[in-house]
Amino acid sequence: MPGTGRKLLIVEDQELVAMTVASIVLRLNYDLIGSAASAERALALVEEHQPDVVVMDLRLKGGRDGVETARAIQARSSARIVFLTGAGDVESVARMRSVSPVGIVLKPFRRVDLTRQLTAAVGGRAEMVAG
């Protein structure tokens, strides 16, 4: 079955979480362009595939975190950012909001909440969802 034409990238350093997100993305019939655990890999995939939405963790492997990576992605593409993170403290949320994400979903998350947020992201509607 052909996808919707909406391309998504997962940037997540925990393999099990990335696989769970991938299953949600595929059920929504979006085109999963890949998964990255580091900023460097994420940026390479953005350059190559120009995703519509990036699901971004705050903590990544390597030297950059999710906020820095989101800024770099925004400089290279028009991808919308959805943070999926366990960091719900005031400082972390303020840092994530500084890059104007479409939304923030907190871990642990429910599939329905992430599904709702991804649907909002590809539709361009902003929504804040707590897990």
- Judge whether 79 lies within some domain: yes
51 found inside a domain? yes
Beta-bridge partners for 31: 7
Nearest-angstrom CA–CA distance, 35 and 29: 16
Q: Is residue 31 part of a domain?
A: yes
**What is the reported pLDDT for 130?**
46
113 lies in some domain: yes
* Phi–psi pair at 51, nearest 5 degrees: -70, 160
Q: How far is CA 44 from the centre of its chain?
A: 15
Give the pair of three-digit tokens for residue 98.
Answer: 């500084």
**DSSP E strand boundaries for the chain:** 7-11, 31-36, 53-56, 80-85, 103-106
Residue 53 tokens read as 């939405």
Asked if 66 and 58 count as a contact pair (C-beta separation under 8 A), the reply is: yes
Q: What single-letter amino acid sits at 89?
A: D
Residue 131 pLDDT: 44
The answer as to whether 78 is a domain residue is yes
For residue 109, give the nearest of 123, 90, 88, 79 by alpha carbon. 88
- Domain extent, residue 63, equals 7-123
- Residue 30 falls inside a structural domain: yes
Number of domains in the chain: 1
Residue 1 in domain: no
Integer Cα distance of 73 and 54 in angstroms: 9
- Per-residue pLDDT reduced to its tens digit, 27-36: 988 999 999 9
- Asked if residue 129 belongs to a domain, the reply is no
Q: What is the CATH number of the domain that holds 33?
A: 3.40.50.2300
Work out the pLDDT band at 5, boundaries 50, 70, 90: confident
